[in-house]
Amino acid sequence: MVNEMLKRETKRAELRERIIAAAEAELIEKGLSGLKARDITSRAGCALGALYNVFDDLDMLVLELNSRTLADLGNALSSSVPVESSSGRQVLQALAAAYTDFARDHQHRWMALFEHRLPEGKYKPEEYRMEQTVLIDAIVPSLKELWPELSKETLAMRARTTFAAVHGVVLLSLQQQFVGVPLKELKSEVEALVELLSRQ
């Protein structure tokens, strides 16, 4: 019957969501290196093997978590840009500040975006790669406004560089090890950096 078939797919989807929710909770609490299949499944209230009925392996589950984090991050960035008719510099400052806030407020989820590596020979699906470009695309318009003479290609490159520079400052600061900016000064240093990067 159609009804029962629907029930089957629904149950499967519900299990999938339960596992994802449990995994996300574990990620938030313990970070990527603390994510264990047994902890996830016991939190989700299912057997260990159930995880492998829904996902190929843990890596694919992490990719799903990272997808969601990227979406949230994208939304945080979008909703941070000030009202229309603000300067490119102002938009860049807003984006950088929102990025810094997101990283600080969702540290483990944000860190997982960069810590996670696929084993030798396996590559992330094209779909996932696409989602990532949102971060870059948000920057391009402001850069174009600041340097209208630059080519599309150069702008795309400069956007990656701008993102990576801000990212580096936030990363080393939040990692707290290594020579990073102290957390107290992080926001002001990011602001100073973006100021330099948006000077014409």
Partner DNA sequence: CCATAAGAATGAACGGCGTTCAAAAGAATG
Partner DNA sequence: CATTCTTTTGAACGCCGTTCATTCTTATGG
Q: Which residue has the tokens 């590559």?
A: 123
Measured CA to CA, the distance from residue 84 to residue 143 in angstroms comes to 16
The distance of closest approach from Cβ of residue 111 to a second copy in the complex, given in angstroms and rounded to an integer, is 10
Q: Is there binding between residue 165 and a second copy (CB under 8 A)?
A: yes
Q: Is there binding between residue 166 and a second copy (CB under 8 A)?
A: yes
The residue range among 3-11, 55-63, 82-90, 132-140 that interacts with a second copy, by the rule CB under 8 A, is 132-140
Measured CA to CA, the distance from residue 2 to residue 149 in angstroms comes to 60
Q: Which residues bind DNA (CB under 7 A)?
A: 1, 4-5, 7-8, 11-12, 15, 35-38, 46-54, 57-59
Measured CA to CA, the distance from residue 170 to residue 162 in angstroms comes to 13
Q: What 3 state SS string does 85-132 have?
A: CCCHHHHHHHHHHHHHHHHHHCHHHHHHHHHCCCCCCCCCCHHHHHHH
* 186 within 8 A of 169, measured Cβ to Cβ: yes
What's the CA dihedral at 187, 188, 193, 195 to 10 degrees?
120
Which is closer to DNA, CB of 41 or CB of 80?
Answer: 41
Which is closer to a second copy, CB of 43 or CB of 160?
Answer: 160
Which residues from 27-56 bind a second copy, rule CB under 8 A? 33
Q: Is there binding between residue 17 and a second copy (CB under 8 A)?
A: no
| Residue 146 interacting entry, from a second copy, DNA, none, C-beta within 5 to 8 Å by type | none
Residue 16 Cα distances to 25, 54, 70, 96, 149, angstroms: 14, 6, 19, 34, 49
Which is closer to a second copy, CB of 144 or CB of 160?
Answer: 160
CA nearest neighbour of 29 among 102, 115, 108, 103: 108
Q: Is there binding between residue 132 and a second copy (CB under 8 A)?
A: yes
- Dihedral angle sign, alpha carbons of residues 173, 100, 168, 189: negative
| Residue 92 interacting entry, from DNA, a second copy, none, C-beta within 5 to 8 Å by type | none
Which of 43, 104, 124, 187 contacts a second copy by CB under 8 A? 124
| Residue 49 interacting entry, from DNA, a second copy, none, C-beta within 5 to 8 Å by type | DNA
Binding residues (CB under 8 A) for a second copy: these are 33, 113-115, 117, 124, 132-133, 135-136, 157-158, 160-161, 163-169, 171-173, 175, 177-181, 185, 189-190, 192-193, 196-197, 199
